[in-house]
Amino acid sequence: MTDSSSSAAHVLRAASGDFDFAVMGILNVTPDSFSDGGAYEEPSAAIAHGRELIAEGARIIDVGGESTRPGAPPVSPAEELRRTQPVLEALGPEAAAAGVQISIDTSKAQVAAAALAAGASLVNDQAALRYAPEIAELVASSGADLCLMHMSGDPRTMQRDPHYDDVVAEVKRFLEQQLRFATDHGVPEERVLLDPGIGFGKTVEHNLALIARLDELLALGRPILIGTSRKSFIGRITGRDTSGRLAGTLASNILAYEHGARVFRVHEVAPLVDALKVTTATLRQAR
């Protein structure tokens, strides 16, 4: 069983001393992720980078073994396990000693189960239980946390002319439905995070609307996780490639914080931690 002190709610409360946010560092151990594919494919490089993310102030490390970039091919559970397990087993004890939560970014029950056994305490399911509904009961029985993300279609199809009548209302309805499914299958509501899925089957306008209207998603009563890091909508607005999107990433996350998001999934941890500390302190002074 996962100790309750490692829950996402606890991590958020203890995030950065007096600050009410948690930064989730992205640790892709894949050859084909959209902006850092192959950089941390070797376990030794991934483990070293995980340590860097912890030192930079990440309160959650999200380990992923399958790319979800547009058009990415699926990988088998065995391959995903081969990529992630050495990293999870090495980083788990160090993260626990530092009070940092380990997350597994997967939509496969087999991979989630192995990660939880290796010390992860959060399952970041970008399919929100659509592919593997049994993840809900697995999370419930382990005492872990669960992040449910909205994605239209799958990584192979999600950017083929995405359409919504009202993107915020439709994302909210989906997240509410999947939250209810999770709680009906034993996951305590206080252990669930919700992610509107910026960039997953959305246009630039859809992404901006979701950030601007996050208060509507907050009405579901759960913490909101935002993942804008290096996303293509930032490139479309700024004209920058993935290596030049840090400023846009920071801006989008600061705006998301002001609209109510409190967990932020990024590649560059230290700049965002600093930016959010200044934002938080300034807003507190203004109250």
Active-site pick, 59, 230, 231, 262:
231
CA distance linking residue 148 with residue 161, whole number of Å? 23
The answer to whether 256 touches 214, Cβ cutoff 8 Å, is: yes
The answer to whether 256 touches 226, Cβ cutoff 8 Å, is: yes
Is 108 tagged catalytic? no
Is 69 tagged catalytic? no
Active-site pick, 172, 191, 262, 265:
265
Rounded to 5 degrees, what angle do the CA atoms 53, 98, 23 make? 40
Rounded to 5 degrees, what angle do the CA atoms 93, 96, 100 make? 130
The answer to whether 186 touches 230, Cβ cutoff 8 Å, is: no
CA distance linking residue 181 with residue 183, whole number of Å? 6
Known catalytic residues? 231, 265
